[in-house]
Amino acid sequence: MFRIDLNCDMGESYGAYRLGADEEIIRWVTSVNIACGFHAGDPNVMRRTVRLAMEHGAAIGAHPGLPDLAGFGRRTMALKPDEVYALVVYQIGALEAFVRSEGGRLAHVKPHGALYNMAAVRRPLAEAVAEAVRRVNPELVLYGLSGSELIRAGEQAGLRTASEVFADRSYEPDGTLTPRDLPGAVLTEEGAVAGRVIRMVKEGKVPVRDGTERPIRADTLCIHGDTPHADIHARRIREALERAGISVKKLETP
Amino acid sequence: MFRIDLNCDMGESYGAYRLGADEEIIRWVTSVNIACGFHAGDPNVMRRTVRLAMEHGAAIGAHPGLPDLAGFGRRTMALKPDEVYALVVYQIGALEAFVRSEGGRLAHVKPHGALYNMAAVRRPLAEAVAEAVRRVNPELVLYGLSGSELIRAGEQAGLRTASEVFADRSYEPDGTLTPRDLPGAVLTEEGAVAGRVIRMVKEGKVPVRDGTERPIRADTLCIHGDTPHADIHARRIREALERAGISVKKLETP
Amino acid sequence: MFRIDLNCDMGESYGAYRLGADEEIIRWVTSVNIACGFHAGDPNVMRRTVRLAMEHGAAIGAHPGLPDLAGFGRRTMALKPDEVYALVVYQIGALEAFVRSEGGRLAHVKPHGALYNMAAVRRPLAEAVAEAVRRVNPELVLYGLSGSELIRAGEQAGLRTASEVFADRSYEPDGTLTPRDLPGAVLTEEGAVAGRVIRMVKEGKVPVRDGTERPIRADTLCIHGDTPHADIHARRIREALERAGISVKKLETP
Amino acid sequence: MFRIDLNCDMGESYGAYRLGADEEIIRWVTSVNIACGFHAGDPNVMRRTVRLAMEHGAAIGAHPGLPDLAGFGRRTMALKPDEVYALVVYQIGALEAFVRSEGGRLAHVKPHGALYNMAAVRRPLAEAVAEAVRRVNPELVLYGLSGSELIRAGEQAGLRTASEVFADRSYEPDGTLTPRDLPGAVLTEEGAVAGRVIRMVKEGKVPVRDGTERPIRADTLCIHGDTPHADIHARRIREALERAGISVKKLETP
């Protein structure tokens, strides 16, 4: 039986600023990663988004990012492992307090943006993230780029991990995502996107920008929430997966 | 038998900026309130300060403040109760994650600066703080100005509270502290300071700026850590209290 | 001959966050107030907005706000006059550097949100704002609420002032705006809005929430840019004014 | 005739946080670089520091840094040239407004920390800094690491430049400074420090970490203000230079 979790970054609004179609997308995904106030999100938005996720029964994850609101956490910063450790502990705790105070349970952690990418390739940073998760709560699932250092560090720390794949992003030969500012980094043709996911789940393979393909593990698929018509895309991908016989459900569901 | 807890704000450094003589003061106090990153403190400082407190066996509290690093959380801001609720939940969670990840237990919450003062006199804000504490963890003790709305809101929410007194601050007839920018707001004569505390603990009374006196409950005494020779003052107050037959210990100790 | 300037707050986007329909509204207004990075705006947005204003020949103003991005500068903060002075100098300078570096000329200063409201009623803060403007560049025009302390402080400092009126906001008997969270604070019926402006310009009178009316001076009208269909409203107001024989042009135009 | 300018970073306090012995060091240096609020400094500190510099007749420079207060602007961030351009324009403008409002004249610009280091080796960033300076005010002198891309970009932009040398920092074979976290990066032996400067000024040579030496141009020497006894070190270096017949004066002095 094939299955996959659909996750989406949420709670990225900030003060008067609105970002993302959270109320729409939540209908199609099974887990959400909620921004924790460093790269996006604020305490009011966090509370509101936790409630939204609980109403829809989605698994809730912390989505810690770099302390760079102006850059939306997408600009690499030269942080040391102990700095990364501390900011991940901090952000998990902040989000977990909202989940607990609403009567829910925090399920996972997925780093955001540049932190995600840094932890994918730099082992000391990956270990800092994994250690932060383990020490705050070893029951949390660590989401990371499939095949990355972060997944390996999580496993080594004894954490349960979820290997994440991207349907609309191009892959490099080393398994990393093609940087957003390179041509072809983001796929837009909808049929191709769905077909790519189905192949990743059923065959465990993904095409690479250089024309070859790589083996890939797909526990969870990243659904983007900040693009035009994101909810329609989310729905179509979910429907295509289900039509292909792939069960869409959150990780903890048997 | 007379007893009192001595608490001190700590972890108020930020990045390259150092503030407070935490390593010295920790020797004389029984509980610490650790800044949570909004008015002071950063994730690295929070971790370091939690460790310091645990090494010395001090009770650890979260010290949430207004989102105003430039003003050190001392400038009143017109926040709504739901904004106050959310920023207190957030900051408790962030600090608690460090305590838990180091193997400790969060014991209390004490709002900082303008938030402390706002919650002392404005009931809706006091209730927002108390509700935040209760929903994150109803075992936490709520520290507030003795006789304030915050103490009443905490009791009404079913929380255990600790009535805080100040030895070196002047009191107004309504039980609030004299604002720092008024003359006589801060007492500096050491003998007078110690005598005042002893009277508050043993007789339950405090002199007021207008020459009268007020009844006052004293569960915990605020020790300042950011003044010159703060550690010497802390030591002398502790010694004066003990000489007067007052037992200095943290709240949870029988 | 009747005339009025139409001004609009612009450049309120921040990083990945988009706010306002600047490119549309700029077609209908004669002056713009550009956020300076404290309550909204960032250096990239400031540069882009200065260019947009110059392309359309709008008069460019600095729009300094409180250091409260999360609250969009709308939450009153207890700042001292010297703090207000310094943050106004800072923000004018930052914006002026973009104007100068693009070959333009800064024309005016209009405080934002809570700073605007604080300076409207508290004379020491009004004087701090006026003094900041005067010392940075005494040629700048100071925009303030018509009839407010800020206008008086500007005149006393020897500055040229522009008395601002609001077409879609209710007035209190003392000439201040009805707070946004009170019912009836914001008018939405379009015909009433235009008629109100025409009367303010031609007759110098404005209706008050208690049913009376007040004399009012109207040099410039605030056009909101962050509401749905803001550009359509801006166009209709401009057209209604021109149909009524009121010349819409920026202040410096003869 | 040999001459050199002594410059020091100043105004690095922030809110309640004090950093640096500005009032002492100002007596021994001839130019100061004032933090502009991104990596350190706030509007109140900027005003106070500008006044201090003017009282002592020091040349005043803007000291723009990365938007990273928590990291004191020392953590490399992956910024694009247009982002660097905009944040330099912004910060120069903010500082210049204080200088102008106090009746002074801004003389130079020196990037701070990671921005300084990034602009020293990456030409597109160096050009962005130089272009920002040129467009805000082409009379400003651009301070940069001697022999760096920033100096070359400044010259190409038609700016007057000042080649900066460091007396207490080790050099790499390519002319960059040894990173602070490597052993031997910071020299502490006072006699060696003074001798090294004298040789740089008189012979135009500097020893390199690998044992070789490099030619170097020395227009200005960086005096550190945030180390213990910084003022004593500053005084001794100045006296050693003068004893060696090197005239210590600011650049614009004939």
At D228 the pLDDT is: 82
| Pick from B46, B37, B10, B38: nearest CA to B225 | B10
User: In chain D, what residues touch A121 (CB-CB under 8 Å)?
Assistant: none
Handedness of CA D43, D44, D47, D53 (dihedral sign): negative
The residues, ordered by sequence, that sit 6+ positions from C115 with a Cβ below 8 Å of its Cβ are C64, C65, C66, C73, C84, C129
Are D97 and C100 inside 8 Å of each other by CB? Answer: no
When scoring B90, B131, B133 by the number of chain A Cβ atoms within 10 A, the one with the most, hence best to mutate, is B90
User: In chain C, what residues touch A18 (CB-CB under 8 Å)?
Assistant: 17
Tokens of C78: 């207890």
Measured distance CA(C112)–CA(C69) in Å, rounded: 12
The residues, ordered by sequence, that sit 6+ positions from A248 with a Cβ below 8 Å of its Cβ are A3, A4, A5, A6, A30, A238, A241, A242
List the end-to-end C-alpha distance of chain A, in Å, as a whole number: 12
Interface of C to D at Cβ within 8 Å reads: 37, 42-44, 46-47, 82-83, 85-87, 89-98, 100-102, 132, 135-137
Model confidence at A145: pLDDT above 90: yes
Measured distance CA(D186)–CA(D227) in Å, rounded: 11
Secondary structure (DSSP) of C204-228: -EEE-TTS-EEE---SEEEE--SST
Q: Which of A15, A71, A72 sits opposite C72 (nearest CB)?
A: A15
Are A69 and C15 inside 8 Å of each other by CB? Answer: yes
Question: How far B205 CA lies from chain C's nearest CA (Å)?
Answer: 32
- The least confident of A59-73, A180-194, B31-45 is A180-194
When scoring D17, D44, D69, D224 by the number of chain B Cβ atoms within 10 A, the one with the most, hence best to mutate, is D17
Strand partners, D32: D8, D60
- Across chain D, mean pLDDT equals 94
Phi, psi of A113 (to 5 degrees): 50, -120
Are A72 and C14 inside 8 Å of each other by CB? Answer: no
Measured distance CA(C14)–CA(D86) in Å, rounded: 13
Longest CA–CA span in chain D (Å) reads 49
Secondary structure (DSSP) of D90-141: HHHHHHHHHHHHTT--EEEE---HHHHHHHHH-HHHHHHHHHHHHHH-TTSE
When scoring D72, D74, D75 by the number of chain A Cβ atoms within 10 A, the one with the most, hence best to mutate, is D75
At B95 the pLDDT is: 98
DSSP reduced 3-state for C31: strand
Measured distance CA(C38)–CA(C18) in Å, rounded: 16
Measured distance CA(D34)–CA(D102) in Å, rounded: 15
Average pLDDT on C8-16 reads: 97
Which chains border B (3 or more CB–CB pairs < 8 Å)? A, C, D
At A59 the pLDDT is: 98
- Across chain C, mean pLDDT equals 94
Strand partners, B161: B142
Number of neighbouring beta carbons within 10 Å of residue B221: 25
Contact B95, B62 (CB under 8 A): yes
Measured distance CA(C130)–CA(C134) in Å, rounded: 6
Strand partners, D34: D10, D62
DSSP reduced 3-state for A11: coil
List the Cα angle A170/A174/A178 in 5-degree steps. Answer: 30
User: In chain D, what residues touch B20 (CB-CB under 8 Å)?
Assistant: none
User: In chain D, what residues touch A114 (CB-CB under 8 Å)?
Assistant: 78
Interface of A to D at Cβ within 8 Å reads: 67-68, 70-71, 75-79, 114
Are A86 and B135 inside 8 Å of each other by CB? Answer: no
Average pLDDT on D159-184 reads: 89
- Residue B180 falls in which region: left (phi positive, over 0), alpha (psi -120 to 50) or beta: alpha
The residues, ordered by sequence, that sit 6+ positions from A181 with a Cβ below 8 Å of its Cβ are none
Average pLDDT on A178-193 reads: 81
Tokens of B79: 């926040």
List the Cα angle C39/C43/C46 in 5-degree steps. Answer: 80
Domain borders along chain C are: 3-248
Q: Which residue has the tokens 């100005």?
A: B145
Handedness of CA C145, C148, C154, C158 (dihedral sign): positive
- Reported as a single tens digit per residue, the pLDDT across A25-35 is 999 999 999 99
Measured distance CA(C53)–CA(A205) in Å, rounded: 51
Average pLDDT on C24-32 reads: 97
ipTM over 0.85: yes
At D99 the pLDDT is: 98
Are A78 and D79 inside 8 Å of each other by CB? Answer: no
At B211 the pLDDT is: 87
Question: How far D47 CA lies from chain C's nearest CA (Å)?
Answer: 7
pLDDT classification of C124: cutoffs 50, 70, 90: very high
Strand partners, B60: B32, B106
Contact A111, A150 (CB under 8 A): yes
Contact C177, C166 (CB under 8 A): yes
Are B16 and D40 inside 8 Å of each other by CB? Answer: yes
Q: Which of B86, B101, B136 sits opposite A89 (nearest CB)?
A: B101
| Pick from B232, B241, B215: nearest CA to B163 | B215
What type of residue is C253?
T
Question: How far D43 CA lies from chain B's nearest CA (Å)?
Answer: 10
The residues, ordered by sequence, that sit 6+ positions from A235 with a Cβ below 8 Å of its Cβ are A27, A28
Are C68 and B71 inside 8 Å of each other by CB? Answer: no
- Reported as a single tens digit per residue, the pLDDT across D42-57 is 999 999 999 999 999 9
Beta strands in A114-218 (DSSP E): 141-145, 161-166, 205-207, 213-215
Measured distance CA(B225)–CA(B58) in Å, rounded: 15
pLDDT classification of D225: cutoffs 50, 70, 90: confident
User: In chain A, what residues touch D71 (CB-CB under 8 Å)?
Assistant: 77, 79
- The least confident of B138-147, C74-83, D95-104, D210-219 is D210-219
**Local structure of residue D67 (DSSP, 8 states):** S
User: In chain D, what residues touch B14 (CB-CB under 8 Å)?
Assistant: 17, 69-70
Contact D149, D157 (CB under 8 A): no
pLDDT tens, position by position, for chain B (254 residues)?
A: 899 999 999 999 999 999 999 999 999 999 999 999 999 999 999 999 999 999 999 999 999 999 999 999 999 999 999 999 999 999 999 999 999 999 999 999 999 999 999 999 999 999 999 999 999 999 999 999 999 999 999 999 999 999 999 988 889 998 888 888 888 888 877 778 888 999 999 999 998 988 899 999 999 999 988 788 888 989 999 999 999 999 999 998 77
- Reported as a single tens digit per residue, the pLDDT across D226-247 is 788 888 989 999 999 999 999 9
Most confident of A61-75, A231-245, C211-225: A61-75
CA distances in angstroms from B236 to B19, B189, B202, B225, B233, listed in the order given: 21, 12, 18, 14, 5
Contact B143, B164 (CB under 8 A): yes
Which is higher by pLDDT, D8 or B174? D8
Q: At what angle do helices D123-136 and D81-101 cross, to 10 degrees?
A: 30
Model confidence at C224: pLDDT above 90: no
Which chains border A (3 or more CB–CB pairs < 8 Å)? B, C, D
Question: How far B72 CA lies from chain D's nearest CA (Å)?
Answer: 6
Element (H, E) at C2: strand C2-10
Strand partners, C144: C163
User: In chain A, what residues touch D78 (CB-CB under 8 Å)?
Assistant: 75-77, 114
Interface of A to B at Cβ within 8 Å reads: 37, 42-44, 46-47, 82-83, 85-87, 89-98, 100-102, 132, 135-137
Which is higher by pLDDT, D88 or D181? D88
Question: How far D75 CA lies from chain A's nearest CA (Å)?
Answer: 5
- Across chain A, mean pLDDT equals 94
Residue of D nearest to A67 (CA): D68
Measured distance CA(B68)–CA(B81) in Å, rounded: 17
| Pick from D88, D221, D108: nearest CA to D159 | D108
Contact B167, B193 (CB under 8 A): yes
Are A15 and C42 inside 8 Å of each other by CB? Answer: no
Are B79 and C78 inside 8 Å of each other by CB? Answer: no
Residue of A nearest to C16 (CA): A72
pTM of the model: 0.96
Average pLDDT on C43-54 reads: 98
Which is higher by pLDDT, A186 or C119? C119
Are D77 and A79 inside 8 Å of each other by CB? Answer: no
List the Cα angle D63/D36/B78 in 5-degree steps. Answer: 170
Secondary structure (DSSP) of chain B: -EEEEEEEEE---BTTB--S-HHHHTTT-SEEEEE-SSSS--HHHHHHHHHHHHHTT-EEEEE---S-TTTTT-S-B---HHHHHHHHHHHHHHHHHHHHHTT--EEEE---HHHHHHHHH-HHHHHHHHHHHHHH-TTSEEEEETTSHHHHHHHHTT--EEEEEESSB-B-TTSPBPPTTSTTSB---HHHHHHHHHHHHHH-EEE-TTS-EEE---SEEEEP-SSTTHHHHHHHHHHHHHHTTEEE--TT--
Are B75 and C77 inside 8 Å of each other by CB? Answer: yes
Model confidence at C168: pLDDT above 90: no
Three-state secondary structure of C106-171:
EEEECCCHHHHHHHHHCHHHHHHHHHHHHHHCCCCEEEEECCCHHHHHHHHCCCEEEEEEECCECE
DSSP reduced 3-state for D167: coil
Could you tell me how many CB contacts below 8 A there are between chain A and chain D? 26
User: In chain C, what residues touch B114 (CB-CB under 8 Å)?
Assistant: 78
Average pLDDT on D157-173 reads: 93
Tokens of B137: 């963890």
Contact C148, D117 (CB under 8 A): no
Question: How far A242 CA lies from chain C's nearest CA (Å)?
Answer: 33
Which chains border C (3 or more CB–CB pairs < 8 Å)? A, B, D
- The least confident of A225-234, B181-190, D127-136 is B181-190
User: In chain D, what residues touch A78 (CB-CB under 8 Å)?
Assistant: 75-77, 114
Question: How far B48 CA lies from chain D's nearest CA (Å)?
Answer: 15
| Pick from B187, B249, B183: nearest CA to B4 | B249
User: In chain D, what residues touch A75 (CB-CB under 8 Å)?
Assistant: 77-79
- Residue C229 falls in which region: left (phi positive, over 0), alpha (psi -120 to 50) or beta: left
Measured distance CA(C206)–CA(C200) in Å, rounded: 6
Average pLDDT on C158-178 reads: 92
Q: Domain C3-248 maps to which CATH number in 3.40.50.720, 3.20.20.80, 1.10.1040.10, 3.20.20.370?
A: 3.20.20.370
At D155 the pLDDT is: 98
Model confidence at C254: pLDDT above 80: no
Are B83 and A43 inside 8 Å of each other by CB? Answer: yes
